[in-house]
Amino acid sequence: MNLSTNGQVRIDGLAKVTGAARYPSDEPVENAAYAYLVTSRIARGKVTRVDTTQALAVDGVRDVLTHENVGSEATPPPPQGAGGSTTTMESDRVWHDGQIVAMVVADTYGAAREAARKVIVVYDVEAPSASFDSPGAGYMPRQPSEHKDADVGDIDSGFSRATATIDAWYETPTQHHNPIELFTTTCAWDGDTLTIWEPSQFVYGLRASVAKQLGIDQAQVRVLSRFIGGAFGSKGGATARTAWVAIAAHRLGRAVKLVPTRGQGFTIVTYRAPTRHHMRLAADADGRLVSLCHEGWELTSRPSDYNVSGTETTARMYACPNIRTRVNVVHTDRNTPGFMRAPPETPYMFALECAMDELAEKLGLDPIELRRRNEPTADPVSGLPWSGRQLMACFEQGAQHFRWNARDPRPGSMGDAEWEHGFGCAAAAYPANIAPAAARVTRQSDGSVRVQIAGHDIGTGAYTVVAMIAGEALGIDPSRVSVEMGDTDLPPAGLAAGSSHTATISHAVRKACDQLIRSGSMEAYAEHTPASLPDDAMKKLHSGQMSIERGHGRKDVTSYSFGAQFVEVRVHRRTREIRIERMLGVFACGRIVNPLTAYSQFMGGLVWGIGAGLLEKTDVDERVARYTNDNLSEYHIPVNADVGRVEVIMLPEDDQATNALGIKGIGEIGIVGVNAAIANAVYHATGRRIRRLPVRMEDLLSEDRGAS
Ligand code: MOS
């Protein structure tokens, strides 16, 4: 069961490896000027003066945008989530370190950068709050929003009759996506028409946002994002920079290209918020849960209520008569967080799946057996049936393949003279989501077919999926299908996020192909709206608003992908160095359209899980609320030497209750639970329970860290 060779190689692979694929900043825009951002050196306060004299004197400098000269020309982008947004040059207010406070435009990149360093910004500084424990951090219960708390039964009654209980706190850090492609934007005006080249997970959404910010009609804006060099959520929502580049281009009467630095990418877009969790579990003598209580805290900016509320998933994992969840947001002087791979589940499942491991030990049960005893027959919150739930099948197949039974349950009992070895496991889950989309299919004179859909290939293989779905529907080889995506001139598709995109675009493409066959014509256009979405969902999509059918928000079934993660670590007895020996992820995610790229995507999730488990953390200087490791040399991610043997098993699953094509989505689930499986394996190896990510050797050296 090694590398899957079934499936279709990427149809855009040749273009990518030969350099023919044009990423947005590669577009050869004529006579472009270059922009360079000036970002705030304080985290909280006001800009009292901007002196651009020296900057404007640099040879080749054309313009310096500040709140004083362009502040009234744009409104802030609509926020992701509820609450307000942090402003940039719309006002003199500084909300966070690294906020855009000026933009220099010059004939060359070098001149723009030099001049940016000569812009003098004078601030009125206030003391910032950087994190959970900072004075002035604003703790608030999460406001009523799209996310819902669970209140089932009476948790106190469970705790009063429990045989074993767990009461523990868990913590996950700030993390940044760091896609290799930077957050570039190029804008060009042709009369009243604006063209934007920017890597985006939602071109229609970006168009709508920029049009609104600039007060122009959406029809005047075209957004192109044909290739995207990694996104992981960071290119999902519109950010402030785009409108300012558009304004700069308008003022200059010339195209303007912005390629921000990697460090600027830490503050001008979103990131994964740090979280805290209070988990309380109670079980009876048979190991059946009688109470589950999960309260979470998530950091956000001052005005935004952005939160991911992963309790919507942790409340549904296991059969339990008494469930209570709560989520709180904590306002600080930081940029607003956003989606990052498995936004809710990565942090929240860390807490639940570590707590389950702790509970299993207390009960003297194997962790897989504990999960088997708590396997629910229906969604424990709503009572709805599952569309398909193969969690235990994933655990059973995985246990066999991983040789889980070789595990001696006693912590610290395995290994050799030099290394302690430990096995850990954890469950993975992610809701099966789908959004509306439209597609056009056209027969070409040479017998090939062209498919047009404003979907997004963020490295996931979406181009190839479209070719495969169309080829299957029309009975032709995928090589006979050409695919156009990432352009607002094409029929709309939703945000490429939330593991929704393959299901979303496949249904629209399939419908258009079926229509082409039925009508016998040369061209067909079809729209697909998932059944439980409101009637206006398609209309909204055309205007750049997102509707999504969430697997845990449906009225008929609860629909999730499931998986089981297995990790073996070794920990050096003297240095406490933690190494990944091997990993296995087993997943049941409905129909897998392209096993070849799916395997890569799962494996990528597992490898990223090593980052989340052992390495990744954005450090914050508490005094000034500033990220200190905002670069790829100090923001640690796994390299090849950190990755042991990684295997993936995809269980066949036919889940027609999820949607007509049975596609549940795979993008996020690969990472879910890996961090918990690693922490559980480290516990098994060493007897040290580390409840704060990332788990690092210093946690195992000192006596006072870890156990909260
Ligand atoms: Mo994904 S983090 O929802 O782009």
pLDDT tens figures, 488-506? 999 999 999 999 999 999 9
Mean pLDDT, residues 521-548: 96
- Distance from the Cα of residue 679 to its chain's centroid: 21
In the predicted model, is pLDDT for residue 209 greater than 50? yes
Ligand 1 nearest-atom number relative to CA 235: 4
What pLDDT does 706 receive?
44
- Among 372, 350, 315, 320, smallest CA distance to 424 is for 350
Which residues are annotated as catalytic? Answer: 668
In the predicted model, is pLDDT for residue 471 greater than 50? yes
What pLDDT does 5 receive?
60
Mean pLDDT, residues 345-364: 98
What pLDDT does 2 receive?
44
Residue 201, token pair as written in the block? 């997970």
Give the binding-site residues of ligand 1, using a 6 Å CB cut-off: 201, 232-233, 236, 339-341, 343, 497-498
What pLDDT does 88 receive?
98
Mean pLDDT, residues 209-221: 98
Ligand 1 nearest-atom number relative to CA 233: 4
Ligand 1 nearest-atom number relative to CA 236: 4
Tell me: the pLDDT tens digits for 152-196? 999 999 999 999 999 999 999 999 999 999 999 999 999 999 999
C-alpha of residue 466 to centroid of ligand 1, in Å: 20
In the predicted model, is pLDDT for residue 1 greater than 60? no
Number of helices and strands (H, E) in the chain? 18, 27
Tell me: the pLDDT tens digits for 680-698? 999 999 999 999 999 999 9
Ligand 1, pocket-test mutation among 234, 269, 340, 548, most atoms within 8 A of CB: 340
Mean pLDDT, residues 131-159: 93
Spatial distance between the Cα atoms of 312 and 316, rounded to a whole number of angstroms: 7
How many other β-carbons are positioned within 10 Å of the β-carbon of residue 14? 11
What pLDDT does 707 receive?
44
Instruction: Cite the beta strand spans of 523-644 per DSSP E.
Output: 523-528, 560-572, 578-588, 620-621, 626-627
What pLDDT does 425 receive?
99
In the block, which residue shows the tokens 């206030």? 126
What pLDDT does 6 receive?
84
C-alpha of residue 132 to centroid of ligand 1, in Å: 24
Residue 55, token pair as written in the block? 């900057």
Spatial distance between the Cα atoms of 651 and 634, rounded to a whole number of angstroms: 38
CB 635 within 8 A of CB 629: yes
Ligand 1 nearest-atom number relative to CA 340: 2
Ligand 1 nearest-atom number relative to CA 201: 4
C-alpha of residue 134 to centroid of ligand 1, in Å: 29
C-alpha of residue 119 to centroid of ligand 1, in Å: 36
Q: How confident is the model at residue 79 (pLDDT cuts 50, 70, 90)?
A: confident
C-alpha of residue 181 to centroid of ligand 1, in Å: 16
Whole-number Cα distances in Å, 58 to 102, 258, 259 = 16, 18, 20
In the block, which residue shows the tokens 């700030």? 174
DSSP string, 66-108: EHHHHGGG--PPPPSSSB----STTSSEE-STT-EEEEEEESS
Q: How confident is the model at residue 3 (pLDDT cuts 50, 70, 90)?
A: very low
Whole-number Cα distances in Å, 434 to 316, 357, 505, 653 = 20, 32, 9, 18
Ligand 1, pocket-test mutation among 232, 434, 458, most atoms within 8 A of CB: 232
In terms of Cβ atoms closer than 10 Å to its own Cβ (0-12, 13-18, 19+), residue 120 is middle
What pLDDT does 703 receive?
60
C-alpha of residue 229 to centroid of ligand 1, in Å: 14
Mean pLDDT, residues 663-688: 98
Q: How confident is the model at residue 452 (pLDDT cuts 50, 70, 90)?
A: very high
What pLDDT does 687 receive?
97
Mean pLDDT, residues 363-381: 98
Q: Is the dihedral of CA 128, 130, 133, 139 positive or negative?
A: positive
Q: How confident is the model at residue 82 (pLDDT cuts 50, 70, 90)?
A: confident
Pairing of strands 449-452, 481-484: parallel
Pairing of strands 275-283, 289-300: antiparallel
Whole-number Cα distances in Å, 194 to 159, 208, 215 = 61, 12, 13
What pLDDT does 702 receive?
72
Looking at ligand 1, which residue's alpha carbon is closest to its atom 4? 233
CB 37 within 8 A of CB 103: yes
3-state SS, residue 492 = strand
Mean pLDDT of the chain: 96
What pLDDT does 70 receive?
98
Exposure on the CB side of residue 335, measured as CA atoms within 13 A:
28
H or E element: which one contains 170? strand 164-172
What pLDDT does 81 receive?
80
Ligand 1 nearest-atom number relative to CA 339: 2
C-alpha of residue 667 to centroid of ligand 1, in Å: 8
Residue 84, token pair as written in the block? 């307000």
C-alpha of residue 500 to centroid of ligand 1, in Å: 9
3-state SS, residue 452 = strand
Tell me: the pLDDT tens digits for 67-78? 999 999 999 998
Is the pTM higher than 0.95? The answer reads yes
CB 88 within 8 A of CB 99: yes
Q: How confident is the model at residue 518 (pLDDT cuts 50, 70, 90)?
A: very high
Residues whose CB falls within 8 Å of the CB of residue 468, separated by 6 or more in sequence, listed in order: 8, 478, 593, 594
- Among 341, 355, 237, 344, smallest CA distance to 298 is for 344
- Among 449, 539, 454, smallest CA distance to 491 is for 454
Q: How confident is the model at residue 252 (pLDDT cuts 50, 70, 90)?
A: very high
What percentage of the chain has pLDDT greater than the value 70?
Answer: 98
What pLDDT does 216 receive?
98
In the predicted model, is pLDDT for residue 704 greater than 60? no
Tell me: the pLDDT tens digits for 277-335? 999 999 999 999 999 999 999 999 999 999 999 999 999 999 999 999 999 999 999 99
Mean pLDDT, residues 211-222: 98
- Among 180, 342, 338, 350, smallest CA distance to 272 is for 338
